[in-house]
Structure 1
């Protein structure tokens, strides 16, 4: 098992979060998760993600074979692999490379289940892999908005804010709650007035 390898012989990527194995006394697991075949297992120590979104970009549609991806954002130190650490592989969709270039997609090399997206500072895990013991835990991962909704392949009338691109950096579209649109418009007006002074 990979816990037995001394730090001096570990490849460089295994020494850094999110792949570095935590010592049990320094990590309090709240949730467990695994890929489809069960060869990759991990724990999460944060009760609620920093954010949770539904992404409609074409890369997510293609990579997941679905109309959109449900992703929850965590710090890289919030995850601890307990099994299958050596069975991970990377994919950089911007260069079609299997090298560990950030940002990249991470998956199980056996069943090819997506495990996470690794960014430069954060990770996006997929809540559908997490074993929730209670409905209230699952509710903490509920999506808060849609991103890249301009690339959608289907309409979703759920009342959540819908951004044409990145959240907060693009236009709110479709059936976004009117108060969200109003607040964003007022913010942009205020910023415009400040920049003109």
Structure 2
């Protein structure tokens, strides 16, 4: 990567004394460890779009949205791998997927202003923390491969910017 300026900006900085370590997350092999300064996301969603299904190898992606400044890497930031699905390049070109270069665990999607974390990587300390990540809605639901009759709103595209889909 020719442009390494990303290392000096959130979320890639190490937590300092002003950063409140509330929730820890890590990849499968433990090489990448990070902290969140909040005990809950701005929003939590299931995404059923084609890219998420293929890249995650799963029927949908569970994403929790945070400000970049709410995250800091304790270790492993230097060993991250980036992938931009639009250009299909391995550059740190936003938006991009961020994963551990050792075990391949997807850590987050980094956008221009926010990060979409994957709650399955977090070490919840109690039931309240888990409940804070409860999913509010489904997006791109018509592209689903499994029905999820959970009573949550189901959108044809982005939530609030597309049509609602009736539960089957």
TM-score (norm 1): 0.82
Any idea what SS the aligned residue of 1:131 has? coil
1:12 to 5, 24, 37: 5
Which 10-residue stretch deviates more, 13-22 or 73-82?
A: 13-22
1:78-128 deviation per Cα after TM superposition (whole angstroms, max 9, x unaligned)? 011011111101000011100111110000001100000000110000000
* Residue 47 (structure 2) pairs with residue 55 (structure 1): yes
Corresponding residue for 1:22? Answer: 15
Say what the alpha-carbon RMSD is for the aligned residues: 1.3
Mapping for residues 25-174 of structure 1, pairs under 5 Å: 25-174=17-166
Give the Cα–Cα distance (whole angstroms) in 1 for the partners of residues 8 and 72 of structure 2: 12
Stretches of 4+ moved more than 6 A in 1?
none
CA–CA separation in structure 2 for the residues paired with 1:72 and 1:130: 11
CA contact (8 A) 2:96 2:110 kept: yes
Relative contact order (C-alpha < 8 Å, sep 6+): which is higher? 2
Query: 1:174: Cα distance to partner?
Result: 2.3
- Which SS does the other structure have where 1:124 is aligned? strand
- Name the count of aligned residue pairs: 166
Q: Structure 1 residue 171: deviation in Å?
A: 0.5
Q: Is the 8 A contact 2:15 2:74 kept in 1?
A: no
Cα separation, 2, equivalents of 1:110 and 1:168 = 38
Query: Which residue in the other structure is 1:192 paired with?
Result: none
Structure 1 unpaired stretches of 5+? 1-10, 177-197
